[in-house]
Structure 1
Amino acid sequence: MKVIHLSAECYPVAKIGGLGDVAGALPKYLNQLGVEASVVMPFYERKFVQENTFETVFQANTFLGDRPFFFEVLKEASGKLGFDLYLIKILGLLDRTEVYGYADDIERFVAFQLAFLDWMLWSGKQTDIVHCHDHQTGLVPFLLYYSYRYKSLAHFRTVFTIHNGQYHGAFNWQRGNYLPEIDPWKTGLLDWSNGINPLASAVRCADAFTTVSPSYLKELSISSNGLEQLFELEKAHGTGIINGIDTDIWDPKTDPMITQKYTIKTVSAKKAKNKELLCKQFGFSAEKPLFTFIGRLVVEKGADLLPEIFRLMLADPKNPVSILVLGSGDEETELELAALKEASPGQYNAYIGYNEELAHRIYAGADFIMMPSRVEPCGLNQLYALRYGTMPIVNSVGGLKDTVIDISEPNGYGICCGAATINAVFTGIKRAIKLFKNTAELRLLYPREMTLDFSWGRSAKEYIHLYQSLKPKL
C-alpha cells in the first residue's frame, strides 16, 4: 500500500504545532509496519532545508487561475527521516521562511495543492491513498473527484485529518477562478456560507475523515466555528484516532537533550536530579513543587487564565510553589506573564518564545504540567509529560479527556479539573500540592505514567485499518 501525506508542516522541517509532529512521525511508523508512506509539503527557507541535500525530481509550469507559475519538486536525498520527503517550491509563493501569516496565504496553499496534483498528473507517480491534513490541503479531495483536469487520478482514495476544526481556510467565490475547470453540478461541495470552504469540502468529499481524538469528533458537532451542522450530518464517516508520540525522540532513557537519563527503575532519583538542574537555572528551590506550562499563549489553550491563577498560587504562603512558563502567543498575555517575574523572583519565571531543548528538560524535571485548554483536539504535551513521569493537570476536553484519567479513578494518573475556569484549575492545583506533600504516593505513580502506550505504533495500526477499509473507486 502506498500513502502520500500532504501537509503544510512536518517536523523537523517546519513545525508550528501538533500537525508538524504528526506529519513527521506517523509516516515513519507506517513504513515500519509495511506501508510505503511519504510526505509532500511546501518548501520553506529554514534550517533543515539549508543544512541538508535535496535533489530536483520534477519541474513544470502551471496556473493559479490566469496567473502562471513555475514549480519544482525537491526530494530529501538521504532518506534519514524514515520516509521519503518531498518539498514543492514555487518562486514568489513557497520560497519564504515562515509557514503561515502572509497576506497571500490563500494563494500560497491553493497553488501548493495544484502543483501537487499537476505533479501527480504529469509524472505518472502512483499512490493508493492521498492523506490530507487540515484546510491547507482540503481542496485536494474535491479536485481529484470533480475537476475535469484530474479525471485520470480519480482512482486515488483520500483521507482527510482535522487537527484543528476552528480554522477553515475559507475564501470568497471571486477567487473560484483559481481552480481548474470543475463539474458545475458539484460546486455545492465547495460552498459553505456563500464562500469556498476547504475544510468543509474535504469533510464532504474525502472517502473518510478523521479527527485526532474520539472526543474531538463529538465536540465538532457542538463547536467548530460555524460547521457544527456539517459535522452532525457527516459524523457517520468520521473516525477519531488519538495521535501518538514518537517514542524514539521522546524517551527519557536516551533523550540527548536531558542531563540525567532514566528508566522506570531509576526515575525517582534521576528525575529529582533533572529537577535540581532546572531549578538552579531558573532560580527556584527544588524542595517546592514545580508547576509548568508549555505551549501557545492563546485563548484556546486557556492561557488567558494563567496570570490570575499564578497570582493565586504565589499568594498562598502555606503552600509555596515554583512556576515555569515556556511559550509565546497573545501579546497581552505575554506581557502579563513577563511582568510576574519581577513580582515573584525565586518562585516564578518565564521563557517567552520556544526552545525545543528546554521543553525536553522541563518534561524531565517538572512535577506537574498545566493544560487548562478550552479546545484541545488531541494534545501532545500531556503525552510527552506522562512519558517522562510528569503529571498533567488538564481540563477534560477533546484529547485530554481521552488520554488523562483522574487519580481519584482506578488506575488514574492525572488531575482533571472539569472546566477551563480559574476556580476549577486552582482547585486542581491544590490537589496537586497535596499529592506532592505525599512524596511516596507521587513516586508510586511514575511507573504507571511512563508505561502508558501512546506510541505511534498503536495509532499507525488504526490508520492502516482505516486505509484498508476504503473501497477502490470503480
Structure 2
Amino acid sequence: PSSGTQTPKTKAVSESSESGCENQLERVFSLSALDALLQDPSGKAELRSHLEAELKDKRPKYASANLQTPVVVVSSEVNPWSKTGGLAMVAGSYGYEFAMRGHRTMVVSPRYGDYKDAVYVGYSKVWLDGREHEVRFFHLFQDLGEGKGTDYVFVEHECYHRGGLYCDRDGKEFPDNLFRYALLTVAAMEAPLILSLRGSTFGQDVLFVANDWQTGLLPVYHLYKYRRNRTYLNSRCIFVIHNIGYQGKYRLSKFPLDSYLGLPPEAIDLLQGEDLNLGVDCMNLMSAAILASDRVLTVSPNYSTEIQSPEGGQGLHEILTEKGRQMRMAGILNGIADEWDPRTDPHIFRNYGISDVLEGKAECKRELQRSLGLHEDPGAALLGFCGRLCYQKGVHLITQVIPWLLTYEQSGVLGRVQVILMGKGDDMYAQQLSHAENSNRGRVCGYVGFDPKVEHRMMAGCDFLLMPSQYEPCGLPQMYAQAYGTVPVVHETGGLKDSVLGLWDEARDRSTATGFLFSGFDENQFMERLYQALEVYHKKPELFRQIQLNGLQKNYYWPQAIDEYERHLDWTLQGPAALAP
C-alpha cells in the first residue's frame, strides 16, 4: 500500500497473545542482560516475543463517551487518492482510526481523478460566486470488518480536473483556488444532510474535523450559513493546523463576502486579517477558522507552543494565544500507520524486530547498498534523507557537509560514510544531488524522485536518518526511523523535538536517547551533532546499539494519538460552542 495508508487487515489491537497482561513492563532493560539470565533458548525466544509485542502495543487506552457521534473529516487531499504531502496521509489515517474506534466516519475530499470503485450517489446545488453550481458526490465504502468502516465521499466538479491539486505544472497557484475550496467546504457540509449512505444519512449531530487553510471556511459557514438557520445546532467543529505557513490569503475587495461567498457582512470580523502586501484588504481563511472553530489542534505539542509565539505564529500568535487561554487549543503528535513495522513490512529485504535487529538491519543495509550502487561496506555509516527538496527541509545543509563527511581523518570518525538522498522539488537542489552522486560514485546516491518502496528500504537499511528541517510541524520520517532501529539526527524544532530524545549527556541519557538533536539552523551546529553521532557509531557501538533499542521501544502508532483526539472530541462535544450563532 502507499505511504500512510491503513489497511483493513491491520487493526488497533494488541499483537501480544497474552491478553491478560494489562500492565506495562519495565522498559529500561538490556537484551544482552536477558541473554545472560535466560539460558533456555525456548524461554528466551518466548520472553523476547512477549516483550516485543508489549513494546508495540497498539491497543486503545481511552474510550470515548461519544462513540455515537459521527465524525466528518474534510481535507483537500486524502491518501491514497490524492497526495502532495503529510496532510493526505493524516487525513487517510483519521478516516481509518475514527472508524476503528466505533464512530460512523465520513471523509470528504475533491474528486481530482476518476477514482476506481467510487460510485455516484447524489448531487447538491451550491450558491457561490453569484450563481448556482451543481456538485456531484461519489462514494466508496471501506469495510474494516466487525460492522466498522469508512465512507469516503468525493466531490465532483470541473474545477478539480487539472494536472495538479493546487498549482499548475510551473508551480503557480490556480487563480480560482478560493472558489475551489469554498465549494468543497459547502459541499462537505451538505453531504451529511442529504446523502443516504448504507441506508441513512449522517444527520446534523456530527463532529467536523477541518484541515488547514483549504477548509478554513468550514467553521465560518458552520456558524453563519447553518447554525444561524437552525441547522447543525448540536454539532461542533475542530480545526487542525498542519502548517501555519500556508494561510489562504485573498483580497477582500476582489472576493466580496456576500456576493462571492454567500456570507453576511458581519463575517468580516472573522475573515479580515492583515498582510504586509494586502494590508487590511486581506481575507485570511486560517485566522477565520481559528476564531470560529470550537477547538484548534496542531500536529505536535511543541508546534502548538511555537505558533503561539511571535516568532512562530506568522502573524496569528495573538489569536492562537487567546484560543489557548480559553483552553480550546492543544497539540497532538501524529501517529504512524501500521505498515511502518519492520516485523511485517513487505517492502524490505528481511523482516526483523527487537530480538534480531542487528542481523536484520545488516542484511537490509547490504541489499540497499547493492541496489543503489553504493559500495557494500557493512562498517560504513549509512546516512539517509528522504523528503521534499527545498530550503525548509535543510537540504542545503546536507549537501554542504557531504565533502566534510567523506573526508578521512586520523580519528576514524569521518570518511567511512555513505549518503543516500531521495526526494523531488526545487531544481537547484535536484542538481546538487546529481552532482554529489557523480562526484562520489559508490559513496553517495542522489535519487531525484520519490519511490515509497525505496523509502521503506531506507528506513530498514540506513544507520542514520537526517532531518535538519528549518521548521517541522510534526514530521513522520523520524518516527518511521525509530520504529526500524534507524537513528535520527534532527533540528530541535516542532514535532522533531517532541518525538526524538537527544543524547545530550551520555551517562544520563543512555537509557532514553533515541537520536541526536541540534539547536541552531546552521551548518556548524549540524556538523557538531553529526560528528557526535558518527563518533558514537564508530567508537561506541554498545551505546549506538542502546540508542537503536530505545527507538525501537517507542510507540508512535496511531492508536496512541487517537486516544488524545478522542479526549479532545469529548471535551469539544460536551462543552459550549466557541461562538453563538
TM-score, normalised relative to structure 1: 0.94
Could you tell me which residue of structure 2 aligns to residue 159 of structure 1? 238
Find the partner of 1:197 among 275, 284, 288: 284
1:184 to 260, 265, 268: 265
TM-superposition CA deviations, 1:369-404 (whole Å, max 9, x none): 001111110111100000111000011101111111
Please give the secondary structure, in 2, of the residue aligned with 1:324: strand
1:299 to 2:379 alignment? no
Structure 1 contact 259–274 (Cα < 8 Å) conserved: yes
Secondary structure of 1:453's counterpart equals coil
In structure 2, the partner of 1:83 is 150
Q: 1:393 aligns with which of 477, 482, 489?
A: 489
For 1:165 and 1:353, the matched residues in 2 are separated by: 26
Deviation at 1:148, TM superposition (A): 6.2
Measured against aligned partners, the alpha-carbon deviations of 1:68-107 in whole angstroms (never above 9, x if no partner) come to 43211111145369522111111x2123342221423222
Q: % of aligned pairs identical?
A: 28
Structure possessing the higher radius of gyration over alpha carbons: 2
1:8 to 72, 76, 81: 76
Q: Give yes or no for contact 2:73–2:94 (8 Å, CA) kept in 1.
A: no
Give the Cα–Cα distance (whole angstroms) in 2 for the partners of residues 18 and 154 of structure 1: 32
Residue 132 of structure 1: SS of its match in structure 2? strand
Verify: 1:427 aligned to 2:528, yes or no. yes
CA–CA distance in 1 between the matches of 2:552 and 2:119?
A: 41
CA contact (8 A) 1:293 1:324 kept: yes
1:101 to 167, 184, 197: 167
SS in 2 for 1:53: coil
Quote the residue 1:175 is aligned against: 255
Q: Which of residues 292, 297, 314 in structure 2 aligns to 1:210?
A: 297
- Corresponding residue number in structure 2 for 1:33: 101
Residue 128 of structure 1 deviates from its aligned partner by 1.8
Partner of 2:210 in structure 1? 132
Compute the displacement of 1:162 (Å): 0.2
Rounded Cα–Cα distance in structure 1 between residues aligned with 2:389 and 2:339:
25
- For 1:176, give the aligned amino acid: P
Gaps of 5+ in 2: 1-68, 169-173, 196-200, 275-279
* Structure 1 residue corresponding to 2:347, chosen from 254, 257, 273: 257
In 2, distance between residues paired with 1:424 and 1:264?
32
Residue 129 of structure 2 corresponds to residue 65 of structure 1: yes
CA offsets 1:250-295 (integer angstroms, 9 cap, x no match): 1111111112011111111011100000001122233210001110
Distance 1:196 1:416, change over 3 A: same
1:155 Cα shift?
3.1
Report what 1:349 is aligned to: 445
Distance 2:228 2:420 in 1: 52
| CA shift digits 1:190-233 (9 cap, x unpaired) | 11012111100011010000011111111112223322333233
Whether 2:566 is the aligned partner of 1:448: answer no
User: Cα distance 1:249–1:176, how it changes in 2: closer, same or farther (>3 A)?
Assistant: farther
Instruction: Quote the Cα distance in structure 2 between the aligned partners of 1:315 and 1:453.
Output: 37
RMSD value over aligned CA atoms? 2.0
- For 1:150 and 1:83, the matched residues in 2 are separated by 30
Structure 1, residues 11-61: CA drift from partner, whole Å, max 9, x if none? 111222111111111332222222222211111217xx2xx3112122133
1:403 is aligned to: 499
Decide whether the 8 Å contact of 2:104 with 2:149 is kept in 1.
no
Q: CA deviation at 1:164?
A: 0.2
SS in structure 2 at match of 1:268: helix
Equivalent residues in 2 for 1:285-324, closer than 5 Å:
285=375, 286=377, 287-317=379-409, 318=412, 319-320=414-415, 321-324=417-420
Contact 1:305 1:421 (C-alpha < 8 Å) held by counterparts: yes
What CA distance in whole angstroms lies between the structure 2 residues aligned with 1:452 and 1:167?
A: 31
What SS class does the counterpart of residue 267 from structure 1 fall into?
helix
Confirm whether residue 223 of structure 1 aligns to residue 312 of structure 2.
yes
Corresponding residue SS for 2:354: coil
Does structure 2 retain, via aligned residues, the 8 Å contact 1:243–1:378?
A: yes
Return the alpha-carbon distance in structure 2 between the equivalents of residues 272 and 37 of structure 1: 42
Call closer, same or farther: CA 1:53–1:148 in 2, change over 3 Å. Answer: closer
1:111-131 per-position Cα deviation (integer Å, ceiling 9, x unaligned): 111222233455564242000
Residues 130 and 467 of structure 1: CA distance in aligned 2, closer, same or farther (over 3 Å): same
**Per the alignment, do residues 459 and 149 of structure 1 end up closer, same or farther by CA in structure 2, a change over 3 Å counting?**
closer
Equivalent residue in structure 2 for 1:465, among 553, 556, 567? 567
Return the alpha-carbon distance in structure 1 between the equivalents of residues 236 and 473 of structure 2. 25
Alignment of 1:376-391 (within 5 A): 376-391=472-487
CA distance in 2, matches of 1:268, 1:168: 45
**AA matched with 1:118:** E
2:120 is aligned, of 30, 50, 56, to: 56
Deviates more, 1:369-378 or 1:464-473: 464-473
The amino acid of 1:338's aligned partner reads: S
Letter in 1 for 2:349: T
**Contact (CA 8 Å) 1:148, 1:183: kept in 2 or not?**
no
Q: Describe the SS at the equivalent of 2:555.
A: coil
Contact residue 142 and residue 150 of structure 2 kept, 8 A: no
Following the alignment from structure 2 to structure 1, what is the Cα–Cα distance between the partners of residues 315 and 408?
42
- The 1:466/1:375 distance shift into structure 2, 3 A limit, reads same
Distance 1:62 1:440 in 2: 64
Q: Which whole-Å deviations, capped at 9, do the CAs of 1:291-319 have from their partners, x for residues lacking one?
A: 01110112221122222122221234542
Task: Judge conservation of contact 2:332–2:564 (CA < 8 Å) in 1.
Answer: yes
**CA gap 1:213/1:342 in 2 versus in 1, 3 angstroms:** same
C-alpha displacement of 1:108 = 1.5
Q: Distance in 2 between matches of 1:245 and 1:148?
A: 35
**Aligned amino acid, residue 235 of structure 1:** G
Q: Which residue in the other structure is 2:366 paired with?
A: 276
| More off after superposition, 118-127 vs 25-34 | 118-127
- TM-score scaled by length of structure 2: 0.77
Gap runs ≥5 in structure 1? none
Q: How many residues in Structure 1 have an aligned counterpart in Structure 2?
A: 468
